[in-house]
Amino acid sequence: MSRVGFIGLGIMGGPMAQHLQAGGHKLYLHDLKNPPFALVEGGATVCTSAAEVAVRADIIIVMVPDTPDVEEALFGKEGVAKGLRPNTIVVDMSSISPIETKKFAKKINALQCEYLDAPVSGGEVGAKAASLTIMVGGSEEAFAIVKPLFELMGKNITLVGGNGDGQTTKVANQIIVALNIQAVAEALLFASKAGADPARVRQALMGGFANSRILEVHGERMVKRTFNPGFRIALHQKDLNLALQGAKAMGISLPNTAMAQELMNACSAHGLSGMDHSALCRAIEIISNHQIAEA
């Protein structure tokens, strides 16, 4: 049994922490809101600050929305760094800037502690099913220690390289996901406008080379008009912004990523930023004056 700190218990973090608790680990929790009651009822300890989590835990997991949130959790007035003991492992499972991640890792390493960046893919469904893909950057030694915890939360777990490489892989993942959502939306819109049943078109395509998890899961959302968030448009906007900032810094062009970001910006302009990222189809529907399916 490990003493595990968990900071950030939202849509993703809550279910992930529950899997760790079910695996027999003692949890120390901190969140801006009250942690899920099930975790507390199961024996988790609620801490008043991230610093208190660091004092009490040997492995600390951070799962918060954005780069500034991670920085605050780690280095704020009552952040993790204030309570760290040597040889503690800090694991950031948020999706944030690879550049800032490398800076955070150096600061944590200077406190004689290990740092892993381990962002995830799979959304709320994957968090609840413990089937997340976990992309890790850091030392092999720290990875070996934390891997049993990762295995309680995910299925496809890869040590990609050094600090920052996990976050770089996640940005690449988000580029692919966004462009696939855009492709599925355009295909189903085309089929619908042409008079075909988009539900049947989707079913037919799932048996061919065009099949994908995006077509399977998000294509169904587009047809059934179920855009309750598993992964919000606002968060995917953040991830694509990281991609475009990185592209600018490296002097490369990501034209289709920029298009996907603009479509998400259009969704946000129409008040849809809190909806699931599959609702990117709404921007294309608005431009085309046609919906894939009726609500």
The catalytic site residues sit at 170
Strands 59-62 and 89-92 come out as: parallel
Q: 3 by DSSP, 3-state: which?
A: strand
- Amino acid in the structure at residue 279: A
The CA-atom distances, in angstroms, between 42 and each of 25, 33, 60 are 11, 18, 19
The total of other beta-carbon atoms located within 10 Å of residue 194's CB is: 9
Q: Are 138 and 159 in contact (CB under 8 A)?
A: yes
- Tokens representing 269 are 């302009």
Backbone angles phi, psi at 271, to 5 degrees: 80, 25
Q: Are 188 and 222 in contact (CB under 8 A)?
A: yes
CA distance 282 to 181: 11
Q: 159 by DSSP, 3-state: which?
A: strand
